[in-house]
Structure 1
Amino acid sequence: MKSKLEKLLNFPCSFTYKVIGFSNPELIDNVIKIVQIHIPGDYVPQIKSSNKGKFISISVTVFATTFSQIENLYIELSKINTVRIVL
């Protein structure tokens, strides 16, 4: 059975991930490295810091051709140690 998200998307399509984790320069590099493995491209992430600087959010838009790319990338981004949420 298709998920609701899969039913809403028409492929190929742009899809934006927002990764929130502890403020660490390596987090940005790790996110981009994982995105590059699953969906190669030139990515310019948007980075925002929390008010106290403890967390950062990294937004990356990819161009996916299949739902499995979106699903697999979500799973892999969630495995990064310093990541707290992937949206």
Structure 2
Amino acid sequence: MSKQVTDINDVLEFPCRFPIKVMGESQPDFQLIMFEVVRVHAPDLAQTDITTRDSSSGKYVSLTITVTATSREHLDNIYRSLTSHVLVKWVL
């Protein structure tokens, strides 16, 4: 019988590089604002750690922000900041 994974700490070994997908309506400063939100928690974040993809309609933009996560709590703090931001629609 296989072990069921119930905790992110069972799968990840910290520190690790961890991609976070952030989606919102397309607007000129979305990437910069999200960069600043995440950088509060990850001061080593660089613009090159972010990739951007526009939706087919151009209404939405998806960012993949890859951070160096140091712990589960570190990731939780980043997720809380992103999900509570008014410009963010989804965080995965």
> Could you tell me which residue of structure 2 aligns to residue 52 of structure 1?
57
Using structure 1 for the length normalisation, give the TM-score: 0.89
Using structure 2 for the length normalisation, give the TM-score: 0.85
Letter in 2 for 1:9: L
**What 5-or-longer segments of structure 2 have no aligned partner?**
1-5
Letter in 1 for 2:27: N
What is the DSSP-based 3-state SS (H/G/I as helix, E as strand, rest coil) of the residue aligned with 1:40? coil
- Report deviation, 1:37: 0.7
What is the DSSP-based 3-state SS (H/G/I as helix, E as strand, rest coil) of the residue aligned with 2:47? coil
Aligned pairs, how many?
Answer: 85
Aligned-residue identity in percent: 32
Instruction: Identify which of 80, 85, 92 aligns with 1:80.
Output: 85
Partners in 1 of 2:59 and 2:47 — Cα distance? 24
Partners in 1 of 2:72 and 2:43 — Cα distance? 16
> Could you tell me which residue of structure 2 aligns to residue 70 of structure 1?
75
Structure with greater helix share of residues: 1
What does 1:16-31 align with in structure 2 at a 5 Å threshold?
A: 16-31=19-34
- Report deviation, 1:36: 0.9
- Report deviation, 1:26: 2.0
The CA RMSD measured in Å over matched residues stands at 1.2
Matched, 1:34 2:37: yes
**What 5-or-longer segments of structure 1 have no aligned partner?**
none
> Where does structure 1 differ by over 6 angstroms across 4 or more consecutive aligned residues?
none
